[in-house]
Structure 1
Amino acid sequence: MIKSLLYFLWASLFEIGGGYLIWLWLREGKPFWWGVLGGVALAFYGVIATFQSANFGRVYAAYGGVFIAIAMLWSWKIDGVTPDRYDLIGACLALVSVLIIMFAPRT
């Protein structure tokens, strides 16, 4: 379980970081190579996700919840936008969903 959660964490950092670099390149006028680095980071995200032991659909459905929580954290720590109580409730619900999707006992 810990290994799976670490894969989700790493994947989310590469996806959000890569998307953020592309955002900065296109929206904030940063140099082209920021966009290239963003593309490379997004490719790493795709590779890291394959390390999960579950099937594709389950991994990507659960990853959505991790992405929500990490995006809120990114917004707070990188962009300086403090999440409100509804952001926090939503992120917590998303993380509970991740745990259910990935780790619920199945018959």
Structure 2
Amino acid sequence: GRPVQFVDDDTAADAKAQGELEKAARAQGFKHIAFQFEPIAAALDYEQKVTREELALIVDMGGGTSDFSIVRVSPERARSTDRKADILANRGVHIGGTDFDRLLSIA
């Protein structure tokens, strides 16, 4: 998996980051490397259960950032390899899951 954007609004930096990730995988001996956007990867299991097209809110609460995506899912789309157009909206905030836990917990 890879984020929709490694670097906000900078396609050159984004491509460089994916290249570095691929380089690291190759250094570990991987030969066939393919990337899937994280919100699509997260939706794949749910998508196996849907019977019609739906919109799904995918929330990825990482340690340093939290990403929110609206993804179009359907049985037909599940068979496609290029899913970029199915990510209808994506935005991240630089508040991680641990921050949410701390701020939302009731002491």
Q: Which has the higher strand share?
A: 2
Q: Which has the higher contact order (CA 8 A, sep 6+)?
A: 1
TM-score normalized by the length of structure 1: 0.35
Structure ID, larger Rg: 2
Q: Which has the higher helix share?
A: 1
